[in-house]
Amino acid sequence: MTYQDYLDGDPVVITAALTGGVQGKEANPNLPETPAEIGRAAAECEEAGAAVVHLHARRPNGERSFDRERFQAITDEVRSRTDLVVQHSTGGTAAPLEARRQSLRTDPAPDMASLDMGPLNRYEHLTSENTRAMVDSLYDEMAERGIKPELEVFNDGHLNEVRGLLERRDLAEPVYATLIFGGGTTSPPSPRNLLNAADNLPAGALFNTLGFGPHQLPLTTMGILLGGHVRVGLEDNAYYRKGELAESNAQLVARTADLARTLGRDPATPDEAREILAL
């Protein structure tokens, strides 16, 4: 994907990351946690311009869940209310591999699933291991179930891991990678680093831009201008602007959709996203 794709006015796929697995209602009371709340939030985001919904599961007490049954309940809610592309998380800080497989085993399987490209640290006591053996194992189950991987690139070293995975496995085109910027072992958030990361992706790969916190708006705007796709939502950013909590995931999606239109790229519909991503 290049600046020419922007000039051509190609649609932009907006992913809504509704919930996450770390911060909860203590960070923003509008963050959805129950299956019904997540289903309603997904429908609002589709109306606002999202094409993909990135899902995590929560226990009834709000803590993160890896249970297949909990993912099933959430997915059923989302599919009953929307036509969105369903993407499940397989990420997990301090979670064993078998737990992280569970989100791949819903019926039907999710359309997509995240696949972390390497180890990372977030916050004081949270580490995600993501050895190559773990990455390959999760990928193999995705391939077996017809799930497209969304390759999560948290830093420049993970760009090397993308190339390594392409050498070890035969990924269907187009390869789809999310470039992630923030703190910890994510790439330092700056326009220059986004440019470099996009330039260093394998030829033909599509990219999605993710910025944590205050970097969500400027870096996703830049991602639109570079011909890429974008991810927004309360998982990554609890605020609409400095000092003002976001009212909903849909509020963040609507701002990005309006901005994309202003910049000459319409938000992709779910069906257009399926065609763009070859789902």
Q: What amino acid occupies position 111? A: D
Question: Please, which pLDDT band fits residue 7 given cuts at 50, 70 and 90?
Answer: confident
Nearest 5°: phi and psi at 4? -65, -35
- Report pLDDT digits (tens) over 12-63: 999 999 999 888 999 999 999 999 999 999 999 999 999 999 999 999 998 9
CA distances from 168 to 77, 119, 132, 173 (A): 36, 18, 10, 15
In order of their start, the domains of the chain are 3-277 (3.20.20.70)
Residues 114-167: tens digit of each pLDDT: 999 999 886 666 778 899 999 999 999 999 999 999 999 999 999 999 999 999
Partner residues linked to 207 by β-bridges: 177
Helix (H) or strand (E) holding 45: helix 35-48
| pLDDT attached to residue 123 | 67
Q: Is 125 exposed, middle or buried (0-12, 13-18, 19+ CB in 10 A)?
A: exposed
* Identity of the amino acid at 43: A
Question: Among 15-19, 68-72, 182-186, 262-266, where is mean pLDDT lowest?
Answer: 182-186
Residue 185: pLDDT band by 50, 70, 90 thresholds? confident
pTM, rounded to two decimals = 0.96
Pairing mode, strands 244-245 and 239-241: antiparallel
* pLDDT tens digits along 106-115: 999 999 999 9
